[in-house]
Amino acid sequence: MIRLDHASRWYGQVIGLNDVTCQIGPGLTALLGMNGAGKTTMMRLITGQLRPTTGSVRLFGLDPFANPEVYRHLGYCPEIDSFYEHLSGRQFVRMMARLTGFSAREAEQRTTRTLERVGMADRADRRIGGYSKGMRQRIKLAQAMIHEPEVILLDEPLNGLDPVGRRRFIDLLGDLASAGACIVVSSHILYEVEQMTRSLLLLHRGRLLATGDLRVIRSLIDKHPHQVRLQTDEPRRAAELLASLPNVVSLRFTPGDEALELEVREPDKFYDALPELVLNQGLRLQGLSSPDNNLESVFKYLVEA
Amino acid sequence: MASPIADLSYRSYDGPLLPPTMRWWVVAKSVMRLAIRKKGFWVWANLSYYWFIILAAVFYFVDVLAPTLPGGANPFFSRIVWKDQFLDAFSIAQMFLFIIALLIGAGAIANDNRSNALLVYLSKPCSKLDYLFGKWMAIFLILVAITGVPTLLFFVYGLLSYRHYGFISQDPALFWRLLVMIPVPAAFHASACLGISSLFNQGRMAGATYAGIYFLSLFFTKAMVVIQIIAMDGPRGDPSRVPSIVNTLFYASVDGLQIGLAKVILQTDGGHLLSGPGGPPVPPAPNGWLFTALYLLACGGFLAIAWQRVRAVEVVRG
């Protein structure tokens, strides 16, 4: 659906996006990076509000720059939320529906339906000026999905949402994505992204650092062995047994001998061998976790590299 | 556990949509709705036609109370040039039209720039042309209504009451001339508001800039009036002694351009009904071609600025 081919965007002397090549298909994809990494620039290139300085951006094979034909299939929820303060949420969403091209009746019906879907039906007739940040986010999402676009782009959509609202928002995005919509969410908050998806585009200083599934990306980072934490009441015996496995790089006892921390290479082989060892040797394990098999660690390893 | 078979029930809308030519109307309606909610708009809109009210009252009382000559002719009405009355009311309304234009148009794009609403607007299937045309039409239609309704009502009043005093026979094409004259200020203010508004992120700044241009040019016009009086050797002097360049520069203002064009359209030099001899000098109508060209150039220039400036994202240039 979305394809960037060596796309770069310069702002005068400053580079916003540097030679990015990637494809984004159906499902929920997170655009991840620190502030200034180029997430918003990439969003704006995809939404056709900026033209790449070099390279190309294509949506459904079309150049999105100032191309209303592409916008029929695109919903965009920008980060900035100060719209028309004098309008009510319902008026704003209905106006956007009309602008998309729906008849008055269709726009009204869709507005009601979409506001219910984003949980704003009961507050939709209040002025946007009186809305909280979270309510504005939902109204923005409503206007982005009012025309059931194939691609929905959301720039930092969880900013300002309370935990309950955040959960509902993530669930809603998940529903849309699992039904086949292409949803791209930009964020710099790792734990938020981790709750939403494992499919990532990781940007750093304008460059695409990594793309794909989080676990696959992690497994490809050879420089940092995977950390495995085993909770057992006999850590020394466990250490003796596990040390014989070929993929174990190091072993460390936690203070108080409550757990054993290992560094392993090729974790899949390690996880294959572990059950046999546990069963054959009667090793009692209370817990098993992988502290660095998460987005934060992947991000840290990649950015530090 | 999620099903291994993908749920592809999501369907994007592929039903009928309004033709793209109608998108501008959504933009225009939102501007007009905002305008008519402002109390100031109604106050200034009602003040803008006060001269027509005064004229109607004067005519009514003169008609009812003043003596008539034998044969039913009233000397007051016999002297009246009817199209000059329309020109007078048009000229007097200019300041009010300008204020209304500021109220409804100064923030038309500036407020969208400030709130980044353009990001949303221009990510819909609505082109920059739809957006600008919608904004322009909103200001234009409101100003046309404010200029046109009282003008045409007064025309109907004159037609019904003063036909025997030459209301129609003086200029049978008066109605059509009025129809051409009415949109002149509306188109100018709509273009100027959009052009200036697009340069700013705050409606107030855009308004202040337009007001600055308006009043500075008005001051220039007043300076030309003083030069005219000096050249004529007093207000009752000989108008032929005024250099033609001074008469032309009299129209070198926002109002002047439109009043000059109105004189060209109505084919009159104008005259004051109530001030009589000794009132301010009345410069002759300017060159029609020159003023039409200047008017179109000014409107086109403002629109070109707006076209250049309107974009969803502010791009830093190196």
Mean pLDDT, chain B, whole residue set? 85
Identify which of B115, B122, B317 has the shortest CB distance to residue A83: B115
Report CA Rg, chain A.
Answer: 23
Q: Which residue has the higher pLDDT, A244 or B274?
A: A244
Residue A290 DSSP label: -
| Residue limits of CATH 3.40.50.300 in chain A | 2-219
Which range (A166-170, A219-223, B155-159, B295-299) has the least confidence? A219-223
Q: Which residue has the higher pLDDT, A69 or B40?
A: B40
Q: Are A82 and B318 within 8 A, CB to CB? A: no
Angle at the Cα of A25 from the Cα atoms of A1 and A51, rounded to 5 degrees: 45
For the domain made up of A221-304, give the CATH fold. Answer: Alpha-Beta Plaits (3.30.70)
Confidence at B3, pLDDT banded by 50, 70, 90:
very low
For B53: left if phi > 0, alpha if psi spans -120 to 50, otherwise beta; the answer is alpha
pLDDT surpassing 50 at residue B1: no
Residues B113, B200 contacting (CB under 8 angstroms): yes
Segment 5-24 of chain A within 8 Å of chain B by CB: 10-14
Does residue A25 belong to the interface with chain B, where contact is any CB pair within 8 Å?
no
Q: In 10 A of CB A243, how many CB atoms?
A: 11
| pLDDT value, residue A276 | 84
Task: Give the gap in angstroms from C-alpha A299 to the nearest C-alpha of chain B.
Answer: 27
Q: Are B12 and A148 within 8 A, CB to CB? A: yes
pLDDT surpassing 70 at residue B4: no
Q: Which residue has the higher pLDDT, B68 or B267?
A: B267
Amino acid at B62: V
pLDDT tens figures, A268-283: 788 888 888 888 888 8
Residues B252, B270 contacting (CB under 8 angstroms): no
- Spell out the domain ranges in chain B: 21-56+75-309
| pLDDT value, residue B237 | 72
Q: Which residue has the higher pLDDT, B186 or B270?
A: B186
Amino acid at A295: L
Which residue on chain B is closest to A13 by alpha carbon? Answer: B318
| pLDDT value, residue B8 | 55
Identify which of B30, B125, B318 has the shortest CB distance to residue A101: B125
Q: Are A49 and B316 within 8 A, CB to CB? A: no
Residues of B in contact with A179 (CB under 8 A): 7-10
CA A22 remoteness from chain centre: 15
pLDDT tens figures, B206-224: 999 999 999 999 888 888 8
Question: Which residue from B273, B59, B57, B265 is spatially nearest to B165, judged by alpha carbons?
Answer: B59
Domain covering A2-219: architecture: 3-Layer(aba) Sandwich (3.40)
Residues of A in contact with B119 (CB under 8 A): 49, 76, 78, 80
Which residues, in sequence order, are bridge partners of residue A74? A151
Percent of the residues in chain A that have a pLDDT greater than 70, as a whole number: 96
Residue range A224-235: mean pLDDT, rounded: 82
Task: Quote the pTM value.
Answer: 0.78
| pLDDT value, residue B278 | 55
